Structure 1
Amino acid sequence: MPKKENPLRQLPVNMDDCGKIRIRLKDILEQRNISLNQLSFRAEMQRTQLRNYRDNKIQRLDIDILRRLCYVLECNLTDLIEYIPPEEQED
């Protein structure tokens, strides 16, 4: 009996080769002409924390923050977060 092929691929040694998660908060704020101060007030969050999300400088996503942002911005999670496969990454 032949061995079944595993449908999952192996993670690369370098995690940077797994693709990238991009938070599109900056794009949304620009499209809607919303300032970081306005968002900070409405979402009841620190500007520093929002700035880190806007600038893609976070390491771990917080579900509560994502929920607040989606609610206040009236958007879907897929509007806010994007997965960029490794073959589509810009260097």
Structure 2
Amino acid sequence: MEDLKSIIRYQTQEYGRIVVKLDKVLDERKISRNKLKTLTGVKYDVITRYYRGEQIELVDLNFLAKVCYALDCRIEDLLEYQKPE
């Protein structure tokens, strides 16, 4: 248990971040955000936020499950943890 780290006193840049890679997945598969909207029933503005990786404080697991199902991909294809530099 000694290798566990507390994040209580750390700033974001000290513990890393989660990167949303929806843009890469859609671009590689040549699928538009509008097509993903049709496939998932999720509002276009929500898809755009994830596509741009902007204004995401909490992830919506239901949204991610719908995307994984519609695109037949894994959660690892959509999210990536980046360690601090």
* TM superposition score normalised by structure 2: 0.90
**Separation in structure 2 between the aligned mates of residue 80 and residue 32 of structure 1, nearest angstrom:** 13
Residue number among 31, 35, 39 corresponding to 1:34 in the alignment: 31
Q: Which residue of 2 aligns with 1:43?
A: 40
Identity of aligned residues (%): 29
**Separation in structure 2 between the aligned mates of residue 56 and residue 81 of structure 1, nearest angstrom:** 10
Give structure 1 regions of 4+ aligned residues with deviation exceeding 4 angstroms.
none
Paired residue total: 83
Q: Which residue of 2 aligns with 1:9?
A: 5
**Separation in structure 2 between the aligned mates of residue 29 and residue 68 of structure 1, nearest angstrom:** 14
Q: Which residue of 2 aligns with 1:54?
A: 51
String of CA shifts for 1:41-91, please: whole Å, max 9, x gaps. Answer: 11101110000011111110111001000000100001111000002xxxx
Q: Which residue of 1 aligns with 2:76?
A: 78
Larger Rg, first or second structure (1 or 2): 1
Q: Which residue of 2 aligns with 1:21?
A: 18
- Structure 1, unmatched stretches of 5+, are none
**Separation in structure 1 between the aligned mates of residue 58 and residue 79 of structure 2, nearest angstrom:** 13
Once superposed, what is the RMSD of the aligned Cα atoms? 1.3
String of CA shifts for 1:5-47, please: whole Å, max 9, x gaps. Answer: 7221232431332101011100001100001100011110111
Aligned partner of residue 86 in structure 1, secondary structure: coil
Aligned partner of residue 3 in structure 2, secondary structure: coil
